[in-house]
Structure 1
C-alpha cells in the first residue's frame, strides 16, 4: 500500500476545441457552476489531504498566478514548449515532482472526490467500463484489474481511460527516466506522455485499472458540452 504525496495538474494547453472562449481564458480557468475547473480539482485534492500541488502552465500562464496565493502549497511550473510540442513536454518539465504522485488534468471535473484518496495499491489509470463504441483510449485488464493492452483508436468494450492516474515511487522513477530518454535523446516531442507507459514501454510497467463510474469524472470538450454541464450543475446547486 502506497500513499499519495503530491499532485501534478496539467494545465498548459491551448484549449483549441473550446474556442472562442479560450482566446482570452485558458481552458482550466473557464468557470463551471461558478468555479474555474482547476479550482474544483485543487479542492478535491485538499479534501483528501493532498496539498503539495504542482500546476504545469503555458498558454496564458500569468492568469494562473493567483492560485498560489489562494491555495497554499500550490506552485506553478512553466512549460516553455507548450506551443510547439505535445503534452509529453508538460510532464517532462515537471518530472522532478514525480514520486508517489497523482497526475490529472486541470480542465476536467472530478465529481467524486473519493477518487483522489491518498491510499492506493498499484500504479494505474482511472477507467470506466463501456458497452458501446467510443474513440477514446480503451484499456483491457485481466480479472485482477491488471492492464493487458490498450486500444488507441477506441473500441466497443473494455474500460475507457480517463486522465487521472496514480504512480508509486518506483514507477515514477521509471517514468521519469523514459521521459528524459524520449524528450532529450529521441526527440519524440509530438507524443502524449501517456504513450510512454501505455504503448512505448508498456512491458516495463505493471499498471492497473482504477474502476470508476462514467459520471465520476467529466471531461468537457466543446462549448455546447460546457453549457449543458454548467446548466445541470448550477441547477443542482
Structure 2
C-alpha cells in the first residue's frame, strides 16, 4: 500500500512542475493528509522528493523510479453510432462533435499529447472518414476500422486493437475531459477511473479497498465507472487472449468489452480503482448533457426522437 501511495504522490509532483504543498498533494491524490505527510518524508529520506519552504518537488531519482511504469500507448474506441445524440450524430460521429469550438475527442488527444503518449490508435466505424480531419492537427494517429460497428457491441472494436493493449490506456472516445491531467505519463497497475457517487444509473463498481470486486448497472453509494482504463504489460496480454476467447461465444455480439475482464474472465485480473472527482470528466451520453455544455445545441432538444435509455458504453 505504501508503494502505491508513493507512486501517486510522485505522479502528482511530476505533473506539477512548480511543486506542491502537503495539502495540495493530498488533494491531487485523493489521499488524507495524515497519510500523505509520512509518505513524503519517507520518500525524502530515499531522495525521491525534496522540500523547500513547504513545497515538495520530485527529484531526478524520483523520475528514474517512475520510469518502469511509463504508459506507452492509447487505444480510443470511436466506432459507435451515437444514437442517443441523434439528430446531431446523423451527420457526424459523436467524438467529432464540437463543444464550444473544441471537438470532444480533442480533449482526449490534447491530454495524451501533453503526457507525451504519442502512439495513439483510434478504432473507427460509423462515418469513419470524418476522423481523417484529425490528421491536420494530430499527424501521428493510427486508424483501424471496425466493420462490425453497426451489428455488434464494442467487444469487437477492442479485439481489433488486441496487439496494442500492453502498457496502454483504453478510452471511450466520447469522454470530455475537464481535467487533462487524468491522462498521466505513468500508471502503477491496471485500473479503471471512477468517482464516488450517492446514486447512479450507469455502470458502477463494488470494491474492497481499492480492488474492484464486481460491477453492476446502477447502484447507491458506489464508484461510478468511466470509460478510461489502463492495462499493464501482463494484463494487456491477458486481455488480448481473453477477448479472442469471448469473441467465439454465441453471445459475443452482445458483449461490451469491459464485461470480459470484469465479469466473464474476472478471475484472471486484480483491477484497481483510480479515483477522480465527479467534475473531472463527463461521458456525453444525451442531448441534454451536450446542450448543458454548449447552448448552441439547445434547439435540438425539442425535436430529437425518443431513444430508449440504456447505460452508455
Q: Under a length normalisation based on structure 2, what TM-score does the superposition of the two structures give? A: 0.70
Residue in structure 2 matched with residue 205 of structure 1 by the alignment: 269
Residue in structure 2 matched with residue 179 of structure 1 by the alignment: 243
The answer on 1:129 being equivalent to 2:129 is no
Residue in structure 2 matched with residue 170 of structure 1 by the alignment: 234
Residue in structure 1 matched with residue 8 of structure 2 by the alignment: none
Of 113, 118, 123, 1:51 maps to: 118
Of 18, 28, 31, 2:85 maps to: 18
SS of equivalent to 1:77: strand
Moved over 6 A (4+): none
Residue in structure 2 matched with residue 140 of structure 1 by the alignment: 206
Which structure exhibits the higher relative contact order, with contacts defined as CA atoms closer than 8 Å and separated by 6 or more residues?
1
Residue in structure 1 matched with residue 224 of structure 2 by the alignment: 160
SS of equivalent to 1:139: strand
Alpha-carbon offset, residue 70 of structure 1: 2.3
CA contact (8 A) 2:96 2:104 kept: yes
Distance 1:171 1:134 in 2: 28
CA contact (8 A) 1:48 1:113 kept: no
Residue in structure 2 matched with residue 114 of structure 1 by the alignment: 181
Residue in structure 1 matched with residue 64 of structure 2 by the alignment: none
Q: Which runs of 5+ in 2 are unaligned?
A: 1-67, 297-313
Distance 1:173 1:81 in 2: 23
Residue in structure 2 matched with residue 29 of structure 1 by the alignment: 96
Of 229, 254, 261, 1:190 maps to: 254
Q: Over aligned residues, Cα RMSD in angstroms? A: 1.4
Distance 2:99 2:136 in 1: 21
CA contact (8 A) 1:8 1:54 kept: yes
Residue in structure 1 matched with residue 149 of structure 2 by the alignment: 82
CA contact (8 A) 1:129 1:160 kept: yes
Q: How many pairs are equivalent?
A: 228
The answer on 1:97 being equivalent to 2:97 is no
Question: Where is the helix percentage greater, Structure 1 or Structure 2?
Answer: 2
The answer on 1:60 being equivalent to 2:127 is yes
Whichever of the two has the greater Rg, that structure is 2
Q: Under a length normalisation based on structure 1, what TM-score does the superposition of the two structures give? A: 0.92
Distance 1:129 1:122 in 2: 20
